[in-house]
Amino acid sequence: MKLHELCSLFPKIDGEAYEVLKADIARNGLLNPIIMYGDTILDGQNRFRACNELGVSPRYTEFKGENILEFVLAQNLHRRHLTPGQSATIVALAQDWAKAQKSGAISKDVEADTIAVRAEKSRTSKRTQASADKLAKEAPELAKKVASGEVTLNKAIKQIEPPKEEPDELGFDPLESYEQEVAENKRLQSIIDALSSDDKDKEIVTLSETIKSLQGRINQAVRTEAEAVKQAKYYGSLLTSIRKVIGCENNSDILLRIKALK
């Protein structure tokens, strides 16, 4: 018997929970019929499996409601031992399935149009639901593994997102940076003290390249998280020191100030 796509989103129960289900069916028969949607099982895959293993003839009934998405989620989402990541991913996959349907009979299923609504259905945080939505959209096969419990949501997200730069990858060390700033200020001071008309143009080029390099490193620094502020403050302070040494208020005035020094 084929499972409906929504039914297949939920992992099969096993272990003690499945043995309890089998024991109950063996003792009392199948009390809750298997819900069909056309020729597919919409709800009851575990009951169907237990009946086959026990040799018990299953009972079937056709789904008579209007919203199969809401029905399947209500029947399965919160009565199982699912992790928040699994629940959020199942809701995301179910929503994507509903949006892909074109028939009018299923169009009513497309209700969870916002992260807040989907998070309420999965009973998870908006952040968890947003991650699940991203995974379902970008890597649906991987999302199915999360839904089944093979992979956690966090590990799956790491697989589809580019690795974040660690702060130390930029070579930032507070003590080293402070020493570099002191040395750079001394170098700039010595340049200005010795500046003459003969070497003026050469030093203008050197300082221009230094400023461009510093600006580039600031732009790189802001792409990090924890160290971004430290990097930006450091290089901003260094540019400020350069302006003070030369006697300019703006970076664009540095070259003009140097040209005026004779």
Identify which of 207, 222, 212 has the alpha carbon closest to the alpha carbon of residue 170.
222
Which CATH class name applies to 1-64? Answer: alpha beta
Q: What is the CA radius of gyration of the chain?
A: 32
Q: What is the DSSP string of 170-188?
A: GT--HHHHHHHHHHHHHHH
Domain boundaries, the chain: 1-64, 67-163, 167-260
pTM: predicted TM-score of the whole model, two decimal places: 0.57
User: Would you give per-residue pLDDT tens digits along the chain (262 residues)?
Assistant: 899 999 999 999 888 889 999 999 999 999 999 999 999 999 999 999 999 999 999 999 999 988 898 899 988 887 767 888 999 999 999 988 888 775 444 444 445 568 888 888 888 899 999 999 999 999 999 999 999 889 999 999 999 887 665 544 445 555 555 556 656 666 666 666 665 555 556 666 666 677 777 666 666 655 555 566 666 677 667 767 766 666 666 666 666 666 665 5
3-state class (DSSP) for residue 225? coil
Edge-to-edge strands, sheet with 34-37: 2-3, 40-43, 34-37, 60-62
